Amino acid sequence: MFDALKNFGNIPELLRQARSMQEKMQSMQEELARRQISADAGAGMVTATVNGKMELVNIKIDKSKIDVNDTEMLEDVITAAVNAAQAKAGEMMKQEMQKVAADAGLPPGLLP
């Protein structure tokens, strides 16, 4: 029963570490929000760019590779490019969060 209380004196230090971790996470999220990640689909027919907030910031369509009469295919390729860019951004964010967690001494997989 008293084993649970033995770290009670460390609460100020734990709070300081928690605040430091929170500041690092917020700083990382702000930095990631400024990054832009691109992915293409349809062999370069469409390139989508998203930011670290997963917001679509740009679409480029290579007019030399599209058939203007096949809008259904163009819609599908745009969707695929956006999904691919968002997936890349999500993976980048996950890797950066794991780095911050490791630097803070947290076990792998603790953060999403």
Instruction: Tell the CATH topology of 11-103.
Output: Ybab; Chain: A; (3.30.1310)
What residue spans define the domains of the chain? 11-103
Q: In what order do the strands lie in the sheet with 36-41?
A: 36-41, 46-51, 56-61
Both structure tokens of 61: 């369509």
- What string of DSSP letters covers the chain? -GGGGTTGGGHHHHHHHHHHHHHHHHHHHHHHHH-EEEEEETTTTEEEEEETTS-EEEEEE-GGG--TT-HHHHHHHHHHHHHHHHHHHHHHHHHHHHHHHHHTTPPTTS--
Q: What is the pLDDT along the chain (112 residues), one digit of tens a residue?
A: 455 556 556 778 778 877 887 888 888 888 888 999 999 999 999 999 999 999 999 999 999 999 989 999 999 999 999 999 999 999 998 888 888 777 777 666 666 5
pLDDT score at 5 = 54
Whole-model pTM: value is 0.75
CB 59 within 8 A of CB 12: no
